[in-house]
């Protein structure tokens, strides 16, 4: 991989990380605000609890995405970016365009999801 490509990939990953971090912070702030607008009846409390749970789960998914991005940056630094962690074959460039933090090629990802490796 050429230095220019590496720099472009790194910048794209860092930009994704900044955006995701900002979204996590916004989710946290929104979950704190839910139900803080006065006295609520039981229906309002139930809806608020559900909305807060959804936002907290969303934040965990976002935090996982940040960890995935960080792992991709580490692989980039180690010269292992774009190599499937399971079969050690090159990940399709198109897949990396769509999901630059991919750990697996499409075939291995399907197997991992299917069998839970």
| Interval 3-26: pLDDT, tens | 899 999 999 999 999 998 888 778
Give the helix/strand (H/E) hosting 28. helix 3-33
Q: Which candidate, 115, 22, 94, places its Cα nearest to that of 65? A: 22
pLDDT digits (tens, 9 = 90+) for 70-106: 999 999 999 999 999 999 999 999 999 999 999 999 9
Q: What DSSP state is assigned to residue 41?
A: -
Per-residue buried b or exposed e for 16-31, using 16+ beta carbons within 10 Å of the residue's own CB:
bbeebeeebeebeeeb
Q: What is the model's pTM?
A: 0.71
Q: Per the structure block, which two tokens stand in for 109?
A: 């990802």
Ordered by start, the domain boundaries in the chain are: 1-81, 83-117
What CA–CA distance (Å, rounded) separates 51 from 28? 12
CB 15 within 8 A of CB 72: no
What is the CATH code for 1-81?
A: 1.20.120.910
């Amino acid at each position: 991989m050429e230095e220019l490509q590496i720099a472009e990939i790194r910048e794209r990953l860092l930009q994704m990380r900044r955006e995701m971090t900002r979204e996590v912070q916004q989710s946290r702030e929104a979950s704190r605000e839910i139900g803080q607008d006065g006295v609520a009846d039981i229906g309002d409390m139930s809806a608020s609890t559900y909305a807060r749970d959804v936002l907290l789960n969303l934040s965990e998914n976002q935090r996982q995405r940040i960890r995935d991005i960080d792992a991709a940056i580490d692989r980039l630094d180690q010269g292992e970016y774009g190599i499937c962690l399971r079969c050690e074959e090159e990940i399709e460039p198109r897949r990396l365009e769509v999901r630059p933090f991919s750990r697996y090629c499409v075939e291995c990802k399907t197997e991992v999801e299917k069998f839970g490796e």
